[in-house]
Structure 1
């Protein structure tokens, strides 16, 4: 039975009006087969330009480490990070999984482990098949044609190229004179413009834009996951229209939670991924960059090539510019 059958006429009209406002996937300007959107702006010339300006004497690691009990997006029942040993030196003496002599197991200390986690644990990217509208994702790929029993065959993490680009840190927490923004603070166009003015920066097409909310000052307390300050749709549109190729933040979801929209519980995700063709970086550790006042830098990052995945861990780094 259709969803409309469960709601009254007033709600039906609200849904119709809301869907008419936006909520349509975008066809890529880079062609019918494109799966990486704005990342197409990365080319040999842009890579060479930023690498030539990078000061490798200082490297900022923008990732968090993974550990049992870490904060993450688990509110929808997804798998928390787990790790367990599959081989231990003492265990091999007993189990002898390698089928060698006792003397060999006593000599060679063999340790091994396995992990299980949601692909959106820790510092990670969100790919275009993560969110869409009504059975479609970016570039009009459809669930009916491209979603198998295990994964999408379009727009997965394996399609993402390594990212070499100019990075810009917008320290919104510092703009407001606080270590961490208030819960559910919405970062819109005004905050972004004020940050750019305060930091004497201008956005350029091809930028990776990172927003500091100060949420990493709460890490790893579980307060990190609740009522996050973050980007709203207005702010996302402003950054997209200035040519950002990836947008990230130091919080759980990039965007403000809970959502201010009545029907779309992730309006920034759906806009950036399905409409703007801009991937997302979440849970970036921006504290060291902010502490040293580095607001413009060379950004380097590559995600794990998990075929068809809606997200994948990334270990991004930043280097100051010469």
Structure 2
């Protein structure tokens, strides 16, 4: 059985932010208010594209490293409240007022979610040199958490590599090259500028929610393609599969070199498991994305619900 791991090292290092020793935003600093206003000024409001997936018991999720599956259960039901009176309102009121409540339990990298800069690092440090020794407490990191990510409003370019190749979905473990990216930009006539968001479509979401096809050995960005994209000054990267990068790793020294590059070396947050199928079907390759994660203080990731509006 052969693997996709080449005898090549990734040579990734943690970067120091050009925005100062206290910076936790990294590439998100490029999301200037003027650029956001410019993008919003071009939107076509005739159709809104929802790029997220539903959360439900049994949904596909990353459990290979021992993380739990998504769970939801009721903590209050109308009939149960009558019986247990946990709210203290009494039988008569509880029969009149129907009270329901629920609790969710999930790995923060489940479903459509964003990876914060503290999710991956190198040699004990995350982006801008914050270290586990100094900045990791008993419950969470004190630096680079998902709560530091501001609302994302930006021009976004969709690299529809599956459509470029004329397939519904790229082959398992297909490594998207710099040439693929350049050819796709030539096909659509688009360019990538500083502060832009880039989403990559592999076609994997066409299989959702069949986890046996949607997850595992993902086609995705090669490390060279990842570095080419961050060199353009992008603020956020995203894809329709579970790790943005190709899997398994092509580099002998790192099991997720793309994560280490985007997060620790380039300071670029990553959005995973985006539903890009409707955008692709409508041939929408340029749009304004509006998205914001749940502000879980210090967390390495959080669910996010991006929406897209075409640009005029």
**TM-score under structure 2 length normalisation:** 0.96
Post-superposition Cα deviations, 1:259-289, rounded to whole Å, max 9, x if no partner, equal 1111200010001101011110100100000
Partner residue in 1 for 2:176: 187
- 1:156 is displaced (CA, Å) by 0.3
Unmatched runs of 5 consecutive residues or more in structure 1? 1-14
Residues 141-172 of structure 1, C-alpha deviations (whole Å, 9 max, x = no match):
01110000000000001100111110100100
For residues 227 and 41 of structure 1, what CA distance do their matches in structure 2 show?
Answer: 32
For the pair 1:282 / 2:272, whether they are aligned, the reply is yes
Match of 1:68 among 57, 69, 72: 57
The structure 2 residue matched to 1:315, chosen from 298, 305, 309, is: 305
Q: Is the contact between residue 82 and residue 95 of structure 2 (CA under 8 Å) also seen in structure 1?
A: yes
Aligned to 1:301: 291
1:207 paired residue among 178, 193, 196: 196
Identify the residue that residue 159 of structure 1 maps to in structure 2.
148
Indicate if the aligned counterparts of 2:12 and 2:257 stay in contact, CA closer than 8 A.
no
Matches within 5 A, 1:64-213: 64-213=53-202
Deviations 1:23-58 (A, max 9, x none): 220000111100010100112211111111111221
Which residue in 2 is equivalent to 1:232? Answer: 222
CA distance in 2, matches of 1:254, 1:181: 13
Aligned equivalents of 2:59 and 2:225: distance in 1?
29
Q: For the Cα contact (< 8 Å) 2:14–2:265, is it kept in 1?
A: yes
Within 2, Cα distance between the matches of 1:158 and 1:103? 42
When Rg is computed on C-alpha atoms for both structures, the one with the higher figure is: 1
Q: Quick one: higher RCO (CA 8 Å, sep 6+), 1 or 2? A: 2
Q: Deviation of residue 173 (structure 1)?
A: 0.3
Q: Extract unaligned runs of 5+ from structure 2.
A: 1-6
In structure 2, what is the equivalent of residue 292 of structure 1? 282
Identify the range of structure 1 (257-266 vs 153-162) with the bigger mean alpha-carbon deviation. Answer: 257-266
- For residues 35-50 of structure 1, the aligned pairs below 5 Å read 35-50=24-39
In the aligned structure 2, how far is the partner of 1:238 from the partner of 1:318? 24
CA distance in 2 between counterparts of 1:268 and 1:24 reads: 12
Q: Deviations over 1:177-213 (max 9, x none)?
A: 1001100110120110111111111111111000000
TM-score for the superposition, normalised by structure 1 = 0.93
Instruction: Specify the alignment match of 1:266 in structure 2.
Output: 256
- Could you tell me how far apart the structure 1 residues matched to 2:89 and 2:151 are? 42
CA RMSD of aligned residues (A): 1.4
* Cα distance in 2 between the residues matched to 1:73 and 1:263: 22
- Kindly state the Cα deviation for residue 110 of structure 1 after the two structures are TM-superposed: 0.6
CA contact (8 A) 2:153 2:290 kept: yes
The CA distance in 2 between the partners of 1:205 and 1:101, in whole Å, is 60
The residue that corresponds to 1:218 in the other structure is 207
What CA deviation, in whole Å up to 9, does each residue of 1:212-263 have, x standing for no partner? 0000011001121111111110110010011111110000111111111112
Q: Which residue of 1 aligns with 2:3?
A: none
**Dislocated runs of 4+, deviation >2 Å:** none
